[in-house]
Amino acid sequence: QTAAPAKLSIGSKNFTEAVILGEIGAGLARQAGMEIEHRRQLGGTRILWRALETGAIDAYAEYTGTLAEELLQMPGADRQALRRALAQRGLAMTAPLGFDNTYALGMREQRAQALGIARISDLRAHPRLKLGLSNEFLSRADGWPGLRAAYGLPQQADGLDHDLAYRGLASGAIDVTDLYSTDAEIPHYRLRVLDDDRRYFPAYEAVYLYRADLAQRAPAWVRALEGMAGRIDAATMQRLNARAKLEREKEADIAAEWLGVSAPQA
């Protein structure tokens, strides 16, 4: 007699896109007839990674650049090398979902134009600009300390919640913040994305990370997650983010509708 399979669990980081991808991942498990709980907004990157390593969660959406630079300390590693390093930890990664969500620095278009700032290196000439950067970015391996050194930037930066940064830009409380390139607010608030002219940031392709033993415990879910390969492009992800952030639709509803129309057929 075999025991009933334990309930599955997917986690998400504390920002909108992560929650939508968590809801989509959970929906795929339910479509495959499995019970799953979505542990929403557990925390930042390291919290999710730790939860996956310990088995507190079975999967979450991550980004290749984050995995390489921040989690595995293998800057520049290709996908195959990442897969090998994950396998040593009992973990696996799906193929890319089809979009990149990179960090970038952004300013209000008007302000950037007035100051003649188009590239990150242009910030060097404006030491008085106020930088408000998301808390995680401030201390990440691929974040502010490295960016500041790579460009020789003179400014200091304050930490803030990413969602509040946009209001700070709009009110003029800050001049520059770190953007996530699929954020719906970038076009909404007419922000200028500064060119990363020293190519500091790596690629951040969205993937699902999952525990390798799911291949035995929940093979249909693994097939469904792998079936997400190439199914969400950047414009689609930005639209889904807009529905949550600008139109205040629930992430679960957005995900359910997306799944109804676009779910990979198992």
Q: Binding residues for ligand PBE, per CB under 6 A?
A: 13, 45, 63, 65-66, 101, 103, 180, 204
Which residue number, 60 or 258, has a Cβ lying nearer to ligand PBE?
A: 60
What minimum distance in Å lies between the beta carbon of 66 and ligand PBE? 4
Residue 35 Cβ vs ligand PBE, minimum distance, rounded to whole Å: 27
Comparing C-alpha atoms, which of 85, 83, 154 is closest to residue 123? 154
Distance in Å, CB of 140 to ligand PBE, minimum? 8
SS3 assignment for the chain: CCCCCCCEEEEEECCHHHHHHHHHHHHHHHHCCCCEEEEEEEECHHHHHHHHHHCCCCEEEEEHHHHHHHHCCCCCCCHHHHHHHHHHCCEEECCCCCCECCEEEEEEHHHHHHHCCCEHHHHHHCCCCCEEEEHHHHHCCCCHHHHHHHHCCCCCEEEECHHHHHHHHHHCCCCEEEEECCCCHHHHCCEEECECCCCCCCCCEEEEEEECCHHHHCHHHHHHHHCCCCCCCHHHHHHHHHHHHCCCCCHHHHHHHHHHHHCCCC
Residue with Cβ nearer ligand PBE (125 or 141): 141
Q: Give the nearest distance from C-beta 205 to ligand PBE in angstroms.
A: 10
Nearer residue to ligand PBE within complex by CB, 65 or 168: 65
C-beta closer to ligand PBE: residue 95 or 256: 95
The residue among 8 and 209 lying less far from ligand PBE, judged by its C-beta, is: 209
| Closer residue to ligand PBE, CB minimum distance, 32 or 169 | 169
Q: 36-43 and 177-180 as β-strands: parallel, antiparallel, unpaired?
A: unpaired
